[in-house]
Amino acid sequence: MHTIYLLLGTNLGEKAANLNLAKQLIEKEVGQVLVSSSIYETMPWGIEDQPIFYNQVLKVESNLEMISLLKTTQSIEQVMGRKKYRHWGERLIDIDILYIDDLVYNSEDLNVPHLQIPNRRFTLVPLVEIAPDFIHPVSALSQTQLLTECPDKLEVKKVNI
């Protein structure tokens, strides 16, 4: 059994409903959602001329191995109607694999831990909410320490839904 952290992101359509549906499909196809962060409204990162995002981190328990997990999360994105408009651009749903246990894996298709974790407040704020002391297996820093050192200063605020 693996402990997995997933980041959900959406900035098109009914954003809260998109996150809820993704969570339901993850529960069905990936494994039990143990903890969900609050939903956060976040400013676009990378490309600023697009709608504001909603982001959420899930802690999931799963039997899926790394590549099966990647294929399953990509399948969920497709089922939900994701289309890639542009890199870092708008999306109906995005499911990023942040961590799988304390594994380190790098390939053309997948990097675990996700390479951008230390650089993104929209990832670190919800991670700190549900796993503040989880240690990044490469940097050996906790999520709280990573957030303190994060160079990203974009606003991330909790949504009251």
Domain that holds residue 102: 2-114
Residue 39 lies in a domain: yes
| Contact residues for 68 (Cβ-Cβ < 8 A; gap 6+) | none
| Residue 78 maps to a domain | yes
- Which residues form the catalytic set? 82, 91, 94, 96
- Helical spans, DSSP H, in 80-150: 121-130, 143-149
Residue 145: CB partners within 8 Å, gap ≥ 6? Answer: none
In a domain, 9, yes or no: yes
Count of structural domains, the chain? 1
pLDDT of residue 44: 79
pTM (two decimals): 0.92
Q: CA dist 132 to 67, 86, 125, 147, Å?
A: 27, 32, 9, 9
CATH of residue 67: 3.30.70.560
Q: Determine, yes or no, domain membership for 25.
A: yes
Output the pLDDT for position 92: 82
Confidence (pLDDT) at 149? 96
